[in-house]
C-alpha cells in the first residue's frame, strides 16, 4: 500500500490471497457467496447442550468449515443444564455418526471444562466462533477476557439464550490468541462446497469406494455399498440422507452461480458494445 496527500489517499498495489475462509450462500433466493471471515486457523462450532444440539446442523457447519480449509473444533455449552450421563450420550452420538473432530464441553456459569477449552487457544492463531443465537459465544469470550467486555442478554427460564451479537468483531486475548465473535446464524446455505461435504462425510466416502459401479449415485443402484451399510445398521439413515441433501444443495447452487456469472458477463459485454457504438459524447 502506498499513501499520498498527507496519508489521506492510499493506493493498494496488491492483495495477498486468503489462506482460509468461512463463507455461506447469501440468505434468501440470491445465488452468491457471503463472506463470514478469512484467514482463520480454527473454527469453533458452538452448540448448546440444552436446546440447540442438532447433529444434522452440525454436519452442515462442518461442511462449510472444511470447504474453507479450516480445522473445526466442536464445543458443547451449558453443560450445567443437563446431567453427566446426558452429556456423555451427546458426545457418543457425535462419534458414532462418523464425526472425528475434537469435542469439548463447558459451562460458562460454573466454569466446568473452561480450562480445557482455554488450553486449545494458541497464541498468534485466530479462532472464529460459529453457532446459533443464544448458545453462549459472547459469554465465553467475556469469561476468557475476565470482564464483561461484550454485551450479553439474560437467558430465559428454560436456559435458552437470546440474540446479543449484531456484528462480527475481533478480540485479542491477553495471551495472544484471537477470537472472532460472529452473530448467530439462522441459515448456513452451501454453495459449491462439494469438497467440504465430502471431507465431512469421510465414512460415507470410504463406503462409496466399495460400490459396484464407479458412477454410483447411491440411490437405487444394485451393489451400492452405502445402501447396504444403511440396511445393516452400519450407517444411520439420517446421516446418509443428510449427505445426499447437502451434496444436492451445494451442486444445485453452484450450477446456478455459474449461470448467474455467465449472465453478468454477457450483460457487461453488451453494455460495453452499446457504449462503443454510441461513441464519445460531444
Cα–Cα distance, 34 to 68 (Å, whole number):
13
Give the pLDDT mean for 201-223.
92
- The pLDDT of residue 158 is above 50: no
- Residue-wise DSSP of 201-229: THHHHHHHTTSSSTT--SSS-TT-HHHHH
pLDDT at 162: 46
- pLDDT (tens digit per residue) in 46-68: 999 988 899 999 999 999 999 99
Q: Is 223 left (phi over 0), alpha (psi -120 to 50) or beta?
A: left
First to last CA, the chain: 38
For the chain, the 3-state helix, strand and coil shares in percent, each to the nearest 5, are 40, 20, 45
- The pLDDT of residue 103 is above 80: yes
Residue 143 shares a structural domain with residue 250:
no
pLDDT at 262: 76
- pLDDT (tens digit per residue) in 253-271: 888 888 877 766 665 665 6
pLDDT at 161: 47
Which of 181, 205, 222 is the C-terminal boundary of a domain?
181
Query: Is residue 132 a part of any domain in this protein?
Result: yes
Query: Is residue 11 a part of any domain in this protein?
Result: no
pLDDT at 71: 96
Output the CA torsion 205→206→208→212 (10° steps): 160
Give the pLDDT mean for 242-262.
87
Residue 169 shares a structural domain with residue 222:
no
pLDDT at 146: 83
Q: Is 227 left (phi over 0), alpha (psi -120 to 50) or beta?
A: alpha
Query: Is residue 133 a part of any domain in this protein?
Result: yes
Which of 146, 181, 216 is the C-terminal boundary of a domain?
181
Tell me what the pLDDT averaged over the chain comes to: 86
pLDDT at 187: 81
- The pLDDT of residue 276 is above 90: no
Residue 148 shares a structural domain with residue 237:
no
Residue 221 shares a structural domain with residue 265:
yes
pTM of the predicted structure, to 2 decimals: 0.81
Residue 34 shares a structural domain with residue 168:
yes
Residue 251 shares a structural domain with residue 146:
no
Q: 195 to each of 180, 198, 269, how far by Cα in Å?
A: 25, 5, 32
Query: Is residue 237 a part of any domain in this protein?
Result: yes
Residue 45 shares a structural domain with residue 164:
yes
* Confidence class for position 198, pLDDT limits 50, 70, 90: very high
Q: 14 to each of 1, 11, 108, how far by Cα in Å?
A: 8, 9, 43
- The pLDDT of residue 94 is above 60: yes
Domain that holds residue 88: 16-181
Q: Is 243 helix (H, G, I), strand (E, B) or coil?
A: helix
Comparing 21-25, 110-114, 264-268, the range with the smallest average pLDDT is: 264-268
Beta-bridge partners for 73: 44, 102
Query: Is residue 140 a part of any domain in this protein?
Result: yes
Query: Quick one: DSSP state of residue 189?
Result: B
- The pLDDT of residue 239 is above 50: yes
What's the CATH number where 254 sits? 1.10.40.50
Pairing of strands 169-172, 178-181: antiparallel
pLDDT at 147: 72
- The pLDDT of residue 157 is above 80: no
Comparing 104-118, 145-159, 189-203, 262-276, the range with the smallest average pLDDT is: 145-159
Cα–Cα distance, 134 to 152 (Å, whole number):
9
Query: Is residue 6 a part of any domain in this protein?
Result: no
Which of 125, 149, 181 is the C-terminal boundary of a domain?
181
Query: Quick one: DSSP state of residue 245?
Result: H
Residue 199 shares a structural domain with residue 161:
no
Beta-bridge partners for 11: 2
What's the CATH number where 113 sits? 3.40.50.300
Contact indicator for 104, 115 with CB cutoff of 8 Å:
no
Residue 237 shares a structural domain with residue 104:
no
- pLDDT (tens digit per residue) in 25-45: 888 888 888 899 999 999 999
* Confidence class for position 184, pLDDT limits 50, 70, 90: confident
Number of structural domains the chain divides into: 2
Amino acid at each position: 500500500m502506498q499513501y499520498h496527500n498527507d496519508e489521506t489517499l492510499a493506493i493498494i498495489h496488491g492483495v495477498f490471497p486468503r489462506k482460509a475462509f468461512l463463507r455461506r450462500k447469501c440468505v434468501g433466493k440470491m445465488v452468491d457467496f457471503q463472506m463470514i471471515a478469512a484467514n482463520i486457523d480454527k473454527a469453533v462450532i458452538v452448540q448448546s447442550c440444552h436446546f440447540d444440539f442438532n447433529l444434522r446442523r452440525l454436519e452442515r457447519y462442518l461442511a462449510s468449515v472444511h470447504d474453507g480449509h479450516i480445522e473445526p473444533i466442536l464445543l458443547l455449552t451449558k453443560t450445567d443444564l443437563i446431567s453427566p450421563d446426558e452429556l456423555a450420550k451427546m458426545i457418543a452420538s457425535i462419534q458414532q455418526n462418523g464425526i472425528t473432530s475434537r469435542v469439548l464441553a463447558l459451562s460458562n456459569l460454573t466454569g466446568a471444562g473452561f480450562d480445557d477449552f482455554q488450553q486449545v487457544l494458541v497464541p498468534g492463531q485466530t479462532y472464529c466462533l460459529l453457532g446459533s443465537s443464544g448458545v453462549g459465544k459472547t459469554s465465553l469470550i467475556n469469561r476468557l477476557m475476565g470482564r464483561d467486555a461484550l454485551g450479553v442478554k439474560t437467558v430465559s427460564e428454560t436456559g435458552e439464550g437470546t440474540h446479543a451479537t449484531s456484528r462480527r468483531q475481533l478480540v485479542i486475548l491477553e495471551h495472544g490468541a484471537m477470537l472472532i465473535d460472529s452473530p448467530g446464524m439462522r441459515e448456513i446455505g452451501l454453495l459449491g462446497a462439494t469438497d467440504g461435504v465430502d471431507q465431512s462425510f469421510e465414512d460415507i466416502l470410504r463406503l462409496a469406494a466399495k460400490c459396484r459401479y464407479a458412477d454410483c449415485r447411491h440411490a437405487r443402484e444394485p451393489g451400492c455399498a452405502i445402501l447396504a451399510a444403511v440396511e445393516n445398521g452400519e450407517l444411520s439413515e439420517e446421516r446418509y440422507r443428510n449427505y445426499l441433501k447437502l451434496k444436492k444443495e451445494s451442486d444445485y447452487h453452484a450450477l446456478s452461480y455459474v449461470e448467474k456469472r455467465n449472465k453478468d458477463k454477457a450483460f457487461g459485454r453488451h453494455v460495453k458494445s452499446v457504449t462503443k457504438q454510441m461513441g464519445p459524447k460531444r
